[in-house]
Amino acid sequence: MTNSSTNKRFFVGLEGLRGLAACMVLIFHATWTHSLQDVSIVQNSWLFVDLFFVLSGFVIANRYIGNMQTSEDKIAYGISRFFRIYPLHFFYLALFILLHFVVLKLSASGMVSGKLTETNEPFWTQLFANIFLLHSTGITPNNAFNLPSWSISAEAVAYFFFFIVSALGLTNKYRPLLWAALGLTFGGILFSVSKVDALDSSYQFGAIRAIFGFSLGVSMRGLAEHLLDSQLVKSHSNKFKAAQYLGLLLVLWILHVGAAGNPITFLAPFIFAFFITSLAIQETSALNTVLTSKPFRFLGVVSYGVYLIHLLIIIVLKNVVDILGLVQGEDGLNDVVSPLVGNAMVVIVLVSSLIGAWIINQIIEKPFIKLGKKLSKKLPDEAQQAAQA
């Protein structure tokens, strides 16, 4: 389940968890009538975005803590992160721009009833914010294009924050405490500026929200480093497995009670951090067996694509319904009254997103990730240069 390197081990189960979370966000965005619509865990699945932030912090720390010593290491980090998130973001942004004008054209001709999204922001302001991944920093109060991409902007800010803090070069002994303190600090800032909306902040304070969860993830990876493959875990295997089930119960609990606007949602990043860490330090468990199975491995591979493509498919489906006149009313898919029809639409969106994400993974995502790795490997090594000198 992991490679032999403790510093760069790969946690397959965590990728499966990411894929499951992406699918739950997809179902959350299916706002029409269907059988899962009133289930609290589905209604509060917006919290899975915070799982993404915590998980990213954990994974980035796992990959780069202790491996950003030279200027070449830091450049390689920037190249790797850019090619990991930006090409796919830009691809879907281009599709949304195209769809924006198509929908406006069809709306003007009377074929569809509305526009792409409800926003009063100037088109070029929105475009600028999206191109430069700034739409989680308060520049715009909403997004005219791919709504979920605000969290990609927030994650990009967290990547930069990680770079800045890592440049401080603090010792491994104090690094987990530093990141825990940063997480608590940014969590406190977020609560103070957005307590009305609780954790449900996106375009205005999304970057702060991301750093909050991301920092907790980095901190917990530092703690996990002392437990991975340790005799303590091996000697108390059942207790650490029990911790995973406790973490799962806590996740289900916060998803049950964590409605938007409820301050209790601020516990979600801490719960996710605990659950992720428990999965990482004890991989020989039933939960990890499920999360590392082939279906979940596939979900992990396409998770980023599913997250970015699903709203596009929902919008296209909505406009197809409008054109064909299958649903009467001004709210399009929201006017679906039959759960059976609604369930079929959820399946259509889910299957289409999985297939579309896999295709895009093969032709765009994977090639650009490989390109980033290739460019990083071509960087000269400072240590080798010093030895040659």
- How far is it, in rounded angstroms, from Cα 307 to Cα 89? 10
CA 231 distance to own-chain centroid: 33
Q: Band the pLDDT of 384: cuts 50, 70, 90.
A: very low
pTM: 0.90
Alpha carbon dihedral 179, 177, 271, 50, in 10-degree steps, equals 0
- How far is it, in rounded angstroms, from Cα 84 to Cα 298? 18
Two tokens at 63? 């990959």
pLDDT tens, residue by residue, 265-286: 999 999 999 999 999 988 888 9
pLDDT tens, residue by residue, 298-315: 999 999 999 999 999 988
Please say if the pLDDT value at position 28 is more than 80: yes
Q: Which pLDDT does position 72 carry in this prediction?
A: 87
Q: Which of 6-10, 15-19, 162-166 has the lowest mean pLDDT?
A: 6-10
Handedness of CA 285, 279, 362, 61 (dihedral sign): negative
Highest mean pLDDT: which range of 124-128, 189-193, 341-345: 189-193
Please say if the pLDDT value at position 381 is more than 60: no
Q: Which pLDDT does position 240 carry in this prediction?
A: 86
Q: pLDDT: is 233 or 288 the higher one?
A: 288
Two tokens at 202? 């996106």
Helix, strand or coil, per DSSP, at residue 374: helix
